[in-house]
Chain A
């Protein structure tokens, strides 16, 4: 047994040209999927992130007011809670809390 059982001639090692375009990757993916070689890594979550608003108030208000709050929230594209938070902030300022 010699210490170097074989010699490597690096110059003889061959690399083929490989297509690394997005199209080639897609072709590869499709070929694999047909044989069950599918994506197994967790995909990035789609859709809306969970709201940080986890507190809740239990407020019954007069019908006209609930409607106004709902309309305003819809108009601004925010949750109704945002309107209540802003109202509470104004109240705190006014009352010096």
Chain B
């Protein structure tokens, strides 16, 4: 089964939120998901400890540089989608995880700073493609976007598209329920209502579906 690596050297870009939304929505749609927490700050582990884990999800904590390759190998062969959440730093652990990915997703806020730092993940991917002589599909998702797109957002989206970067549509909007995942644990379906819950669930599900289409090779 495919391995999805969530990577950006920028802290606070929305990686762990993206990982949890993707994992819980894929599991909700029927897939078995194993999430690897590779961040020493343990965001995913904290989320998992907050509330009952949704069905079909397991979380492995403290996966390190020396065991990331083995751990992915052990899990992507047994019918589970593997989702890897990384720390927001430029580390060897990040490059090793990317080397094992079927899809790398780089979440970024639609600001110049986030985009500038996020692009380093894309450079790393193309270096690895060359070193390993293998295509590593990747995509960018904007996070914490507002209902009304900022000029910066439009500009950054345009320039990424020009460089041929695959942008996942829809972006993950800024939503109270997305940050509340780390307060209540579980998923959007079990959480006490926060703000516009229907909109949030729809946003997360469409995002997960867009990722699924890429994993199923439906994006060409």
Determine whether B42 belongs to the interface, using a CB cutoff of 8 Å to chain A: no
Stretch at the interface among B90-98, B138-146, B152-160: B90-98
Stretch at the interface among A29-37, A54-62, A71-79, A85-93: A29-37
Main SS of chain B's interface residues?
A: helix
Set of chain A residues within 8 Å of B9, measured between Cβ atoms: 37
Complex-state Cα separation, A13 to B4, whole angstroms: 12
Determine whether A53 belongs to the interface, using a CB cutoff of 8 Å to chain B: no
Is A41 a contact partner of B93 (Cβ separation < 8 A)?
yes
Determine whether B215 belongs to the interface, using a CB cutoff of 8 Å to chain A: yes
Main SS of chain A's interface residues?
A: loop
Set of chain A residues within 8 Å of B209, measured between Cβ atoms: 5-6
Set of chain B residues within 8 Å of A25, measured between Cβ atoms: 69, 96, 99
Partner of A37, one of B2, B124, B130, B205: B124
Given A24-B132, A27-B132, A40-B93, A14-B120 contact (CB < 8 Å): no
Chain A, 1-26, CB within 8 A of any chain B CB: 1, 4-10, 12-16, 18-20, 24-25
Stretch at the interface among B15-23, B24-32, B104-112, B163-171: B24-32
Is A28 a contact partner of B215 (Cβ separation < 8 A)?
no
Determine whether A39 belongs to the interface, using a CB cutoff of 8 Å to chain B: yes
Determine whether B217 belongs to the interface, using a CB cutoff of 8 Å to chain A: yes
Is B29 a contact partner of A4 (Cβ separation < 8 A)?
yes
Set of chain B residues within 8 Å of A82, measured between Cβ atoms: none
Is A7 a contact partner of B30 (Cβ separation < 8 A)?
yes
Partner of A40, one of B81, B89, B127: B89
CB-nearest residue of chain A to B7: A37
Is A1 a contact partner of B79 (Cβ separation < 8 A)?
no
Determine whether B114 belongs to the interface, using a CB cutoff of 8 Å to chain A: no
Partner of B26, one of A8, A27, A34, A37: A8
Is A37 a contact partner of B29 (Cβ separation < 8 A)?
no
Determine whether A38 belongs to the interface, using a CB cutoff of 8 Å to chain B: yes
Is A10 a contact partner of B31 (Cβ separation < 8 A)?
yes
Q: Which 5 A-B pairs have the closest CB atoms?
A: A32-B95, A5-B205, A31-B131, A12-B216, A28-B99
Q: Which residues of A contact B (CB under 8 A)?
A: 1, 4-10, 12-16, 18-20, 24-25, 27-41
Q: Which residues of B contact A (CB under 8 A)?
A: 1-3, 9, 26, 28-31, 64-66, 69, 73, 76, 79, 81, 89-96, 98-100, 102, 120, 123-124, 127-128, 130-132, 134, 198, 201-202, 205-206, 208-209, 212, 215-217
Apart from A27-B132, A31-B128, A32-B96, 19 more pairs, CB < 8 Å: A1-B198, A1-B202, A4-B28, A5-B205, A6-B208, A12-B217, A13-B216, A18-B99, A20-B100, A24-B132, A25-B99, A27-B131, A28-B95, A28-B98, A37-B91, A38-B90, A41-B65, A41-B91, A41-B93
